[in-house]
């Protein structure tokens, strides 16, 4: 779904643990299992080793600004002030392209879509899809997901296994997290990818970053930062923001990308408009180096008193919302970013705001199947990459939030709706979670339910420690961690962030 190739999986710095691991794998298998595989990661705008960090002040401002949680704005707790400077050379350290065993990888540069560009009628292979394929994408027909399904082959799985086998347990635990840059750098306002970011990623190689207004000054600065940070990791990063349109529009509001109103505004303009809006948003994100959007909103504005969702929804009608959400998924993919359906199992019929405290939904599971689940099913059938689980409490299921429920995450989302992609939490620092659970308790409950990615816990270090302690005492198994890391790596391969090529 992406339009360009980038740099390869980075060669690690020599380390006894990695060398021992590779040697052990080679001896056990009796063959060099990685020979002939080349891995390449997408660099922003096809960058091939230069971070583009020269020419700026290279200082991260120390301010008491706000960080945004998931969908709305809230104070980011517990972050210490700090500054970060770039290398004097402006070059990113350790940018040699290589596969897991240190072989050279090739780098190709390719054009990125201009902001607001017109949709190209092409499938993931770059071939002309024709009118029938385009119609399928716009309608949300499940055939639109076939491109991704065919990519999820034994070769993709094999590549994911090889990468995972080269990772330490600590690296796999960190891969489960997406956080604000401030959470690991110690700086409240991160606007460059410099020494503090590099050092933090070496110690805590997280799976991705969530960016908000505090990280955005202008398009050039943002692109430069994202290009630089992507060069700093062994496994490529998810680089995400909340970009829905309307009142949740980080790039539109802060760097002036194409302005699009709330999705509800367009509800009667059909699937073509839903596709076009998503394509424009995705193209603008792709142009600055973002690769994952926490959109589309698959909630339905079924409760007029609901203000936290409201006009963020595509419709107040379940069937109409399903058609529009399915079409939007195709637009996001064609625009060059992965997308996330949110907020399962449906946040549109609540009245409370989970950013502040607990929120409740009182429909039965049968009612949810007939109504709230419809847009999520349509988005899944259209090939959505991820699903975000809400903090809402379903009275018919449990007295705890949905993201802690194995019945909802594993039984319904994965079992009934057939979603085998990445399941991500809403921000764990939000009031519904942080006011009732410690960060350690929250992440362990999420993993037990079947969640893959843990988004912005209130205390990142406590959350990592809790998982590693649970692994040591047998409360959590490495096989459970591998299950989620495998899905994350497969998603990154499907996105084109990691590519394998045979010699």
152 labelled catalytic: no
452: pLDDT strictly greater than 70:
yes
Cα–Cα distances (Å) from 413 to 388, 405, 449, 451, in that order, read 11, 11, 11, 11
258 token code pair? 């194409």
Neighbours of 501 (CB within 10 A): 14
426 labelled catalytic: yes
Closest CA to 287 of 492, 108, 113: 113
Closest CA to 111 of 4, 265, 229, 239: 4
- pTM for this prediction: 0.76
Binning pLDDT at 50, 70 and 90, where does residue 152 land?
Answer: low
100: pLDDT strictly greater than 50:
no
Binning pLDDT at 50, 70 and 90, where does residue 357 land?
Answer: low
DSSP state at residue 81: P
pLDDT of residue 10: 54
- Asked whether the CA dihedral 268, 273, 278, 280 is positive or negative, the reply is negative
163: pLDDT strictly greater than 70:
yes
Residues forming beta bridges with residue 104, ordered by sequence position: 98
Domain extents for the chain?
145-502
pLDDT of residue 494: 94
pLDDT of residue 470: 98
- Round to whole Å and give the CA distance between 47 and 201: 20
- Round to whole Å and give the CA distance between 79 and 36: 44
Binning pLDDT at 50, 70 and 90, where does residue 132 land?
Answer: very low
* More confident call, 484 vs 14: 484
Select which of 123, 426, 452, 459 is catalytic: 426
pLDDT of residue 147: 52
**Which of 53-62, 170-179, 320-329, 378-387 shows the lowest per-residue confidence on average (mean pLDDT)?**
53-62
Cα–Cα distances (Å) from 478 to 169, 173, 174, 235, 484, in that order, read 8, 9, 13, 19, 10
Percent with pLDDT over 70 in the chain? 68
**Which of 94-98, 193-197, 246-250 shows the lowest per-residue confidence on average (mean pLDDT)?**
94-98
265: pLDDT strictly greater than 70:
yes
Whether residue 394 contacts residue 403, with contact meaning beta carbons closer than 8 Å, is answered with no
177: pLDDT strictly greater than 50:
yes
Closest CA to 244 of 228, 260, 225, 257: 260
pLDDT of residue 377: 98
Whether residue 1 contacts residue 495, with contact meaning beta carbons closer than 8 Å, is answered with yes
Binning pLDDT at 50, 70 and 90, where does residue 416 land?
Answer: very high
20: pLDDT strictly greater than 90:
no
pLDDT of residue 226: 98
pLDDT of residue 151: 47
Cα–Cα distances (Å) from 75 to 228, 306, 401, 438, 464, in that order, read 27, 23, 22, 17, 22
197 token code pair? 């970011």
pLDDT of residue 353: 63
pLDDT of residue 500: 58
189: pLDDT strictly greater than 50:
yes
387's CB contacts (< 8 A; 6+ apart) are 340, 341, 342, 344, 376, 379, 380, 413, 419, 421, 422, 423, 424
Mean pLDDT computed over 271-286: 98
pLDDT of residue 342: 97
User: pLDDT tens digit string along 286-322?
Assistant: 999 999 999 999 999 999 988 889 999 999 999 999 9
Percent with pLDDT over 90 in the chain? 62
- Round to whole Å and give the CA distance between 60 and 81: 10
* More confident call, 75 vs 285: 285
User: pLDDT tens digit string along 49-90?
Assistant: 333 333 333 334 333 333 334 444 333 333 333 445 444 333
* More confident call, 65 vs 426: 426
Q: 145-502 in CATH: which number? A: 3.20.20.300
194's CB contacts (< 8 A; 6+ apart) are 53, 58, 60, 84, 85, 86, 87, 228
pLDDT of residue 350: 82
Query: Directed axis angle between helix 373-381 and helix 318-335, to 10°?
Result: 30
Binning pLDDT at 50, 70 and 90, where does residue 376 land?
Answer: very high
Residues forming beta bridges with residue 398, ordered by sequence position: none
Select which of 333, 343, 347, 355 is catalytic: 355
Whether residue 208 contacts residue 237, with contact meaning beta carbons closer than 8 Å, is answered with yes
- Round to whole Å and give the CA distance between 452 and 422: 6
* More confident call, 188 vs 380: 380
């Amino acid at each position: 779904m992406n339009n360009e190739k980038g740099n390869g999986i980075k060669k690690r710095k020599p380390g006894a643990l990695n060398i021992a691991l590779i040697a052990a794998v080679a001896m056990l298998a009796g063959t060099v299992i990685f020979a002939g595989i080349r891995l390449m990661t997408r660099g922003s705008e096809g960058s091939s080793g230069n971070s583009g960090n020269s020419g700026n002040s290279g200082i991260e401002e120390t301010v008491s600004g706000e960080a945004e949680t998931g969908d709305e704005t809230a104070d980011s707790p517990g972050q210490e002030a700090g500054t970060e400077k770039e290398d004097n050379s402006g070059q990113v350290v350790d940018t040699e392209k290589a596969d897991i065993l240190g072989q050279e990888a090739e780098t190709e540069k390719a054009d990125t879509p201009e902001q607001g560009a017109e949709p190209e009628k092409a499938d993931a292979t770059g071939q002309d899809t024709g009118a029938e394929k385009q119609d399928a994408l716009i309608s949300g027909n499940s055939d639109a997901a076939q491109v991704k399904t065919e990519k999820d082959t034994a070769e993709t799985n094999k590549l994911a296994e090889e990468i995972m086998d080269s990772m330490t347990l600590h690296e796999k635990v960190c891969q489960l997290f997406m956080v604000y840059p401030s959470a690991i750098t110690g700086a409240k306002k991160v606007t460059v990818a410099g020494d503090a970011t590099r050092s933090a990623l070496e110690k805590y190689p997280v799976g991705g970053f969530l960016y908000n207004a505090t990280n955005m000054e202008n398009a050039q600065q943002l692109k430069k930062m994202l290009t630089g940070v992507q060069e700093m990791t062994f496994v490529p990063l998810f680089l995400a923001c909340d970009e829905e349109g309307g009142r949740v529009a980080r790039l539109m509001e802060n760097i002036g990308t194409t302005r699009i109103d709330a999705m509800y505004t367009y509800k009667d303009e059909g699937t073509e408009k839903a596709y076009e809006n998503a394509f424009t948003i995705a193209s603008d994100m792709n142009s600055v180096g973002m690769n994952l959007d926490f959109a589309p909103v698959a909630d339905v504005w079924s409760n007029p008193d609901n203000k936290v969702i409201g006009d963020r929804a595509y419709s107040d009608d379940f069937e109409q919302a399903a058609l529009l959400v399915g079409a939007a998924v195709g637009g996001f993919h064609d625009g060059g970013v992965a997308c996330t359906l949110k907020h399962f199992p449906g946040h549109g019929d609540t009245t409370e705001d989970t950013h502040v405290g607990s929120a409740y939904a009182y429909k039965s599971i049968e009612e949810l199947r007939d109504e709230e689940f419809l847009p999520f099913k349509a988005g899944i059938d259209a090939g959505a990459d991820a699903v975000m689980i809400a903090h809402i409490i379903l009275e018919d299921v449990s007295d705890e939030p949905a993201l802690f429920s194995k019945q909802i995450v594993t039984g319904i989302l994965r079992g009934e709706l057939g979603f085998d992609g990445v399941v991500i939490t809403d921000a764990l620092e939000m009031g519904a979670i942080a006011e009732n659970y410690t960060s350690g308790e929250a992440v362990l409950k999420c993993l037990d339910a079947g969640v893959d990615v843990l988004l912005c816990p209130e205390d990142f270090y406590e959350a990592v420690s809790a998982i590693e302690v649970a692994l040591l005492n047998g409360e959590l198994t490495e096989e459970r961690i591998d299950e989620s890391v495998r899905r994350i790596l497969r998603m990154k391969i499907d996105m084109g962030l990691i590519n394998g090529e045979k010699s």
